[in-house]
Structure 1
Amino acid sequence: MRTVILLFTLLGLAWAAELPPSVFLQGARHEYQRFNNCGPVTIGMAMSFWGGRETQYQIAPVLKPNKQDKNVNPEEMAAYARAQGFRVHHGVAGDAALLKRLLAAGFPVVVESWFVTPDSGGMGHYRLLVGYDDKKGVFNAFDSYYGPKVTLRYGDFDGLWQVFNRTYLVVYTAKQAPKVEAILGERLSSRALWRLSLELAREETRAQPSNAFAWFNLGTSLLRTGDAKGAARAFDRSRSLPLRPDYDPGRPGNAASNWPWRMLWYQFTPLEAYHRTGRYPDVIALTTDVLGRVSDHEESYYWRAMARAALGKTQAAIGDLQAALRYRPGYSQAREALAKLQSQAGR
């Protein structure tokens, strides 16, 4: 793994020597979001750079049949873009050098990061990066909430991006595939990507042992590389650490963990890790906390159903899965689990 990291470092240095000091890509269409529509808007803006005409009014009904849906995940956005004929790379453990290489080569990048507003507190948010300026130390972004002229200081942005394990999406055409793939290199391999994510998370937990997001990313990376028990331990450490209050203003006093109170609206790997290690009461407690604040969160219904089913509470699990499907009729995991439970209950 150290050889792979060294290779990435050397490649990054080689690319950095060739990069211009500033880039601003022209051609994407900016769009302001309607309520909770940053995901549909941002993938639409990314596609618009390559000629896509879909706006949130076509995209949102597909990605979020429930207009109040709090989360559209990156893979749902990627699947939508692929259905429109585009190619998409969904990556994690990104870094500033990679973003700059992609932008300098002519590829806008969707990033998922934490977002804090004075009136609404902390939440997940997508932006489309369209440029950077090394002299000013900023990325340029099309933001569906604040507008097309947003600048993000490198250090501040990286802290917010870390909350989502530095997730990014690159939308491109088949014609541009060789160019994108040359930049991404080993990152095109899911196995290599998660090993890179694991190594980065380990380095950050060693360097910043009180950083809850570094431990959260370690948990996610361990889970994705096959170590559910290690993942559960990392999530335990993460949820016990104090968090920066500026990331979680307006936090309810009775939140179930020390994570930002909206954290599990968007990321579900702790629920998966706890479920896979038989910690069903933890899954139920965390999902019930979410559902006590937002009653239409389909992923929480799904994971609570899985925990309840494992404890033999079949009818309660069936009710949760039916609720999940009421809010997202196309939720294939919930539909498959419901059919299995109903079959077992009918025996």
Structure 2
Amino acid sequence: METQSLTIQIKKVEKSKINEVDFNNLAFGKNYADHMMYCDYKDGKWHTPQIVPYGPMEFHPSTKVFHYGQAVFEGMKAFKDDHGTVHLFRPEQNFERINKSSKRLAIPEFPKDLFFESLEALIKLDYNWVKPGQGNSLYIRPFVIATEEGVAAAPSDSYRFMIITCPSQAYYNKPVKVLFAEKFSRSANGGVGYAKAAGNYGAQFYPTNLAKSKGYDQVIWTDANTHDYLEEAGTMNIFFRIGDKLLTAPTSDRILDGVTRKSVIQLAKDKGIEVEIAPVEVKRIKDAAKVGELKEIFGTGTAATIAKVTAFEHAGEEFPLPEVDKEYSVLMKDSLQDIQYNRVEDKNNWLHPVKP
């Protein structure tokens, strides 16, 4: 059945597959909602967005994304409150960041009105895929790929902007152990570390696999020049608690400006917790651990929300983190989720309601 809105063409599924999904046992990113959105850029402009049943698409082997990696993406979530209303969490931040990432990779920026109208239309179509209850959400993945056919090393002249969604629960269902990087780096000055470029993540897989072979879950990357300063983890920004103070590295052209990161910083300040945003030296963290001043390390990210770190290793030394009362990681996660599920007043206006 074809329907038409002012700027979106919609083709609905004949039958939903929602009853085929076990929502109590979800593997992250393995089950997808009924519909997806795509919008093509060609002849110098973005065309009419399409919402269609989720499924495969066909591209030529010479499609430029396969050869030169012009691809950026975002990660965001929708939550359903106890009254049945769905809320997007800080979607403006994701919209701004995907265009910032696109600009760095010479991809045309996507119009704001098309982004929000198509996103809301997609959520409304798959409203029942957003389940209420603690830990449940709909993970939303906007992304852009280069679609021109040709292997010349030049920016594409055509692109496809897409949004797919999948029901999700916790990305990390247990605390993690991390390895401080000594050799490998995630990004360098002047590079694309601040962009959510697909290649940033592909380049992390090998050193992360090395860490996993040693019994660690993630790598905390260090700066490319000296490896003396801690920057971010593979899928998360990272926070350190020394005494009652939170430390996190400043964003730069090497570090992603995480939405959860900036939300945690604001929540901590709202609660009177001191936050130091400055370069974090490996030596400082190790010294604090040795004398018992390092209380917590935790990662923040859309998929992970907040992931507690139980131990870290560097230069052959492993440092277990102590058990502490009133963990900041728990406080921040609870405070964040209370807002996301609309259980408390949204004083910072972070929620964007979407009604069916």
Q: After TM superposition, is the score higher than 0.5? A: no
> Greater RCO between the two (CA within 8 Å, min separation 6)?
2
Report the TM-score when normalising by structure 1.
0.29
Higher strand share: 2
Q: Please report the TM-score for the alignment, with normalisation by the length of structure 2.
A: 0.28
